[in-house]
Amino acid sequence: MDYSITVQRYLVDHLCTFLLEERSELIKRVLSNRTRHITVCLEDIYQSQNASAVLRSAEAFGLQDIHIVEGNNSFLINRDVVRGSDKWLTLQRYSDSSNPTQDAIDSLRAQGYRIVATSPHVNGVALDDFDVEKGKCAIFFGNEHNGISQTLLSQADEFLYIPMLGFTESFNISVAAAMTIHTLRHKLDGSNVAWQLPEEEHYDLLLKWLMKAVKRSDLIIERFLEENPNLSK
């Protein structure tokens, strides 16, 4: 489905008539706080509870994209944990090569992201001191047992850690991700960064969300376009 912004606007307005005003306004309000300035990449996570908790936190704090590296472990979503939050996220998976971490790094760099690895064992920047204004950042979290991979260790642009004061070496990944996302989102909101989605991405995502919210939206759109043949795709 590839519509121009003009057509998307018409479709958005039409689909909104099939929802209560409160529901459509909620969708628009949530979208107005979505960002791609910060994104999260999960590298070879094998515990579905942890993976799903990260998705839930990312959605709650307004991140749109989650990048999923599937090397030795398949990424599974725990429906009891995620509670439908994945419905509103854009998930990008990397699994179809011998080095999916490298694929993720290359893809994100091509999109202008700084590759930021989280690790308590590498000298880096403390979470509270991380600069979100230097540019878009992709925050990588390694798996529960081994942490980040050697590929990521050798290619990360920056390293990030959460200072700890106890005997424990590291946080559970879902806790670390939630703390990191919350802190960076708070920094982003207080910055001068234009973090909102561009108009084209905004309307593309809004239309997709409304299609998920409205029953049989595909048939509604098909009929609307048939009744309005002057609207071109």
| Whether residues 114 and 26 fall in one domain | no
Q: How confident is the model at residue 1 (pLDDT cuts 50, 70, 90)?
A: low
Least-confidence region, from 18-22, 47-51, 185-189, 222-226: 47-51
pLDDT in the model for residue 48? 84
pLDDT digits (tens, 9 = 90+) for 52-61: 999 999 999 9
| Whether residues 173 and 79 fall in one domain | yes
| Whether residues 184 and 156 fall in one domain | yes
| Whether residues 68 and 173 fall in one domain | yes
| Whether residues 103 and 154 fall in one domain | yes
| Whether residues 180 and 206 fall in one domain | no
| SS3 per-residue string spanning the chain | CCCCHHHHHHHHHHHHCCCCHHHHHHHHHHHHCCECCEEEEEECCCCHHHHHHHHHHHHHCCECEEEEECCCCCCCCCHHHHCCHHHHCEEEEECCCCCHHHHHHHHHHHCCCEEEEECCCCCCEEHHHCCHHHCCEEEEECECCCECCHHHHHHCCEEEECCCCCCCCCCCHHHHHHHHHHHHHHHHHCCCCCCECCHHHHHHHHHHHHHHHCCCHHHHHHHHHHHCCCCCC
Average pLDDT over residues 89-110: 94
Domain of residue 128: give its range.
35-189
Does residue 83 form part of some domain?
yes
pTM here? Answer: 0.92
Does residue 232 form part of some domain?
no
pLDDT value at 143 more than 90: no
Q: How many structural domains is the chain composed of?
A: 2
Does residue 113 form part of some domain?
yes
| Whether residues 103 and 11 fall in one domain | no
Percent of the chain with pLDDT over 90: 75
| Whether residues 72 and 179 fall in one domain | yes
pLDDT value at 233 more than 60: no
